[in-house]
Structure 1
Amino acid sequence: MKRRDFLKQSTLASSMFFVPQFLKAFELGTNTTFSNKKVVIIQLKGGNDGLNTVVPFENDIYHNARKTIALQKSEIIKIADGVGLHPSLAPLRNLYDKGFVSIINNVGYPNPNLSHFRSTDIWQTASASNEYLQNGWIGRFLDHTKAESYNAIEVDESLSLMLKGKHQNGLAITNPKMFYSSLREPFFNKIVNNYQDPHLNEHNLGYLYATMIEAKSSSKYIFEKTKTKSQTATTYPKNILGKQMKTIADFVKSGLETQVYYAGLSGFDTHANQQNQQSNLLKIYAETMEAFVNDLEKNNVFDDVLILTFSEFGRRVHQNQSFGTDHGAANNVFVIGKHLKKNGLYNNLPNLAQLDKTGNIQYEIDFREIYATILDKWLQVDGRAILNKSFSKLQFV
């Protein structure tokens, strides 16, 4: 293959998101620490309003700060004294009543950043607010365990920073059959068949070859494992998150040796007219979570799955003049699993009488404590080595 043709077609591949956005893979050998435990991570993108999600409906400060958008006692789904869920979360209440949900309140980090992009990077890399990391905490998990690239999958068209490691990345896949077929095109076969071309090493293109060969191997493995679907079918909501979670459920049911899955639901940046927008999004989230859990339960694979839902920050306590809320700080996090050690309300709701100097909810639990707990107690790896620091462990698993 001529160098000019190779470069030309390689550029074409990159523009189609196959390389490098779909993945960055090296042949690192097999995962020596693989366990059957799986984590499904869901981001509510845009900054979900935690106060109108888990509602302190008897708190006067809450009602005074939100004259228009505060939820009333008659609307909410009561789960404890003075605490209720947004009415759109009725399907999640069904899981809550089974003991499958732990609500962790006041989750954040010191010196919070209120930029969507920066705060998302902080959550995805597990960095401090003044620290800039180039790889994600799941990417470092792949590096640490020397896992194959398919050990972490994002159900999307491009790969987020969370799944990018220093040596190994996860995969971004929306359709395993399409992913497999794409990597069987003549262009990819031509590259693989010309791996001894001296131009590869002469122009540092050996990396691209290694990426291609690993991608093709991973795509074949995923396709072969998932092409036989389970006979126990579940109907999912017909929306983007429903499609993502159905794909993840199919992956889990197939026996795929993937330990981390990542998906997201956008639209939570509710600066104006928050009520209807948040209500619709929480309904999508709750209905999809119930369908996903029911699907896994029917197929006897829910025992080894832990679901983590987070948003990059919460909203301010006081509503704004546009009947919405602006960027805040600490927020609630949902953990869903079958054998939680502490379900229900994990800790107290925020103290609205003691806000930080900017008028935001103060954090009580560092989000990296949740990550450390999942790594050490669930995935059974050294969280300190992955998070670059030791964090306290929580008691939800």
Structure 2
Amino acid sequence: MKRRSFLSMSAAAGATLSLRSAFGALAPTARAWSSCGSDNLLILVELKGGNDGLNTVIPFADPGYYKLRKNIGIKREHAIALDERTALHPSLLPLMPLWRNRQLAIVQGVGYAQPNLSHFRSTEIWDTASRSDQYLRDGWLTRAFAQMRAPAGFAADGVLIGNAEMGPFANGARSIALSASTQHGNASRLVSPALLHERDVAASRILDVGKEIGNADGGLGAARHHVQLNTVFPGGVFGNSVKAAMQMLAVCGAPQEQRRSGRDVAAIRLTLSGFDTHHNQPVQQAALLGQLAEGLASMKAALVELGRWDRTLVMTYGEFGRRAQENHSNGTDHGTVAPHFLMGARVRGGLYGLPPTLARLDGNGELPLGIDFRQLYATVLGSWWGLDASAILQQRFEPLPLLRV
């Protein structure tokens, strides 16, 4: 896979949408999706740059926390308690209704063995579900969609918003990447690449969805199949990405209509960038986690409004975490593991994985591995979609008991 560029979605109105896709031959042994799996939507939220886990899910009862983080540690009185030992960053307050309703799971200590602390290589490892010493070309979702051919009614395997790199859809998945750049004075317009041929039925369906996303002023007000959403979305780059994703689902309509009209997608990937907090982390991370929490809360409200909440699984991911000890610039450097969030009506809420024990850091001052990230993928592939996770991941990983099936 090629070195990635970090592309962000502009929050400006009147943006120019660009559409690109990659078509690859599906495996000849591909078979149809299970009747329930084909209705289940996955929304990935990429926390790009490596989010600091210890200030996200805070082990406030561990005396080592405030010793390691004398300047950037979250004060106990400001943190949001989850239990007698663990709390959330105060910016994550909008997620508390999900937590109280047991629809938010937090998996701690997620990473992989022999971690690579390069942004580009570690992102590649997460995107391809490879070992740290293994180089794969296909994204993990590309392999999933090759194993289980989507029904004829599906418009695309996936849609990417906020970062045009294919990532988990790389090298074959039939996907749409929507990114935006500020073009003051220009109305929104959709640019379709030459490799998409209007005569191709699947390509035409993809273009239909993309064109309707591109209609009107940054939304779908003029779209032919527009559904007016009552949900109020936050501003900013990530809020706009969430709004675009939800408006796309509104255009698609109900699951039964989607399959008939050929306008559904199986997965959506959103990106929130900026988590590489080597300097001035308290201000930067607070703003980013606020965007994340407000965006996820509005996403939940929109999915309920659209009747899709019980058929949607939302999961965060990122290339790595941060070091346990703060640096000299009120920040943190690249580290190993981090917590990740899953939410949905069928999620078994609670804390999972390995809580950080700060007295047991390794020789490099890093937190130990608790959950291999491919266990999260095995949970998606097996429990959520009913696929053969071992074949896709090329190794057996135990799924986590995160879902009500």
TM range (shorter): 0.7 to 0.9
Compare 246-255 and 373-382 and name the one that shifted more.
Answer: 246-255
2:177 partner letter: A
Q: 1:107 to 1:390 in 2, by over 3 A?
A: same
Q: 1:210 to 1:133 in 2, by over 3 A?
A: farther
**Is the contact made by 1:315 and 1:328 (CA closer than 8 Å) also made in structure 2?**
yes
Give a deviation string over 1:100-154, Cα, whole Å, max 9, x none.
Answer: 1000000111000111111111111100000111111011122222346712111
2:230 to 211, 229, 233: 233
Residue 224 (structure 1) shift: 6.7
What is the TM-score normalised by the length of structure 2? 0.81
**Is the contact made by 1:101 and 1:336 (CA closer than 8 Å) also made in structure 2?**
yes
- 1:260 lines up with 2:267 in the alignment: yes
Q: 1:23 to 1:74 in 2, by over 3 A?
A: same
Q: Secondary structure at the match of 1:259?
A: strand
Root mean square deviation of aligned Cα: 2.7
What's the counterpart of residue 135 of structure 1? 138
- 1:85 lines up with 2:94 in the alignment: no
- 1:379 lines up with 2:388 in the alignment: no
1:313 to 297, 320, 324: 320
Equivalent-residue separation in structure 1 for 2:280 and 2:249 (angstroms): 38
- 1:170 lines up with 2:171 in the alignment: no
What's the counterpart of residue 334 of structure 2? 327
**Is the contact made by 2:159 and 2:175 (CA closer than 8 Å) also made in structure 1?**
yes
Equivalent-residue separation in structure 1 for 2:314 and 2:115 (angstroms): 24
What is the TM-score normalised by the length of structure 1? 0.82
2:108 partner letter: N
Equivalent-residue separation in structure 2 for 1:227 and 1:49 (angstroms): 43
2:368 partner letter: Q
**Is the contact made by 1:140 and 1:164 (CA closer than 8 Å) also made in structure 2?**
no
Equivalent-residue separation in structure 2 for 1:140 and 1:103 (angstroms): 26
Q: 1:17 to 1:234 in 2, by over 3 A?
A: closer
Q: 1:315 to 1:36 in 2, by over 3 A?
A: same
1:83 partner letter: T
**Is the contact made by 1:270 and 1:326 (CA closer than 8 Å) also made in structure 2?**
yes
**Is the contact made by 2:163 and 2:271 (CA closer than 8 Å) also made in structure 1?**
no
Equivalent-residue separation in structure 2 for 1:113 and 1:239 (angstroms): 31
What's the counterpart of residue 21 of structure 2? 23
- 1:94 lines up with 2:97 in the alignment: yes
Residue 266 (structure 1) shift: 0.6
Compare 150-159 and 350-359 and name the one that shifted more.
Answer: 150-159
Equivalent-residue separation in structure 1 for 2:265 and 2:109 (angstroms): 30
- 1:388 lines up with 2:373 in the alignment: no
Equivalent-residue separation in structure 1 for 2:298 and 2:339 (angstroms): 22
**Is the contact made by 1:25 and 1:215 (CA closer than 8 Å) also made in structure 2?**
no
Equivalent-residue separation in structure 1 for 2:139 and 2:393 (angstroms): 9
What's the counterpart of residue 215 of structure 1? 203
Aligned positions of 1:62-211 closer than 5 A: 62-147=65-150, 150-156=156-162, 158-165=164-171, 167-174=172-179, 181-183=190-192, 208=195
What's the counterpart of residue 257 of structure 2? none
Equivalent-residue separation in structure 2 for 1:150 and 1:72 (angstroms): 46
Residue 216 (structure 1) shift: 3.7
Any gaps of 5 or more consecutive residues in structure 1?
A: 1-15, 189-207
- 1:243 lines up with 2:240 in the alignment: yes
Q: Secondary structure at the match of 1:72?
A: coil
What's the counterpart of residue 12 of structure 2? none
1:66 partner letter: R
**Is the contact made by 1:89 and 1:283 (CA closer than 8 Å) also made in structure 2?**
yes
Residue 231 (structure 1) shift: 3.0
**Is the contact made by 1:26 and 1:211 (CA closer than 8 Å) also made in structure 2?**
no
1:271 partner letter: H
Q: 1:83 to 1:209 in 2, by over 3 A?
A: closer
Aligned residues: 354
**Is the contact made by 1:26 and 1:210 (CA closer than 8 Å) also made in structure 2?**
no
2:203 partner letter: A
Q: Secondary structure at the match of 1:377?
A: helix
1:345 to 327, 347, 351: 351
Q: Secondary structure at the match of 2:355?
A: coil
What's the counterpart of residue 3 of structure 2? none
What's the counterpart of residue 7 of structure 2? none
Equivalent-residue separation in structure 1 for 2:83 and 2:233 (angstroms): 29
Could you say which structure has the higher helix fraction? 1
**Is the contact made by 2:196 and 2:203 (CA closer than 8 Å) also made in structure 1?**
no
Residue 348 (structure 1) shift: 4.3
Equivalent-residue separation in structure 1 for 2:94 and 2:17 (angstroms): 36
Any gaps of 5 or more consecutive residues in structure 2?
A: 1-15, 181-186, 214-222, 254-262
Q: Secondary structure at the match of 2:358?
A: coil
**Is the contact made by 2:41 and 2:312 (CA closer than 8 Å) also made in structure 1?**
yes
Q: 1:182 to 1:344 in 2, by over 3 A?
A: same
What's the counterpart of residue 32 of structure 2? 32
**Is the contact made by 1:47 and 1:269 (CA closer than 8 Å) also made in structure 2?**
yes
Which one has a bigger Cα radius of gyration?
1
